[in-house]
A = this chain, B = another copy of it.
Amino acid sequence: MATMQRLQNTGLELFYAQGYYDTSVDDILKKLDLSKGAFYYHFDSKEDYFIQIIQNLLARKIYSTLIEPIEGHDNPLTLITNCFDDAMETAVHNEMDYGCILSNFLSEFNGKNEVIMRHLNEIVTVWEVNLVTSLQKGKFNGYLDRHVDCEAAATFLMSSYFGVRTLMTSSAPSAKKYRFMSQLRQYFKSIEAKHVNS
Would you list which residues of chain A between 72 and 121 have a CB under 8 Å from chain B?
Answer: 96, 98-99, 103-104, 106-108, 110-112, 117, 120-121
A180 to chain B: closest CB distance in Å? 6
Question: If the complex has contacts A170-B106, A183-B156, are A111 and B161 also in contact, measured as CB distance less than 8 A?
Answer: no
Hey, which bits of chain A sit against chain B, CB under 8 A? 17-19, 21-22, 96, 98-99, 103-104, 106-108, 110-112, 117, 120-121, 124, 149, 151-153, 155-156, 158-164, 166-167, 169-171, 176, 178-180, 182-184, 186-187, 189-191
Contact (Cβ within 8 A) A155 B169:
no
> Which residues of chain B come closer than 8 Å to A176, judged between CB atoms?
155, 159
A46 to chain B: closest CB distance in Å? 13
The listed residue with most B CB atoms (<10 A of its CB), out of A17, A166, A180, is: A166
CA distance A108 to B156 in the complex (A): 23
7 contacts between A and B (CB under 8 A): A19-B19, A98-B110, A103-B166, A120-B170, A156-B160, A156-B187, A159-B167
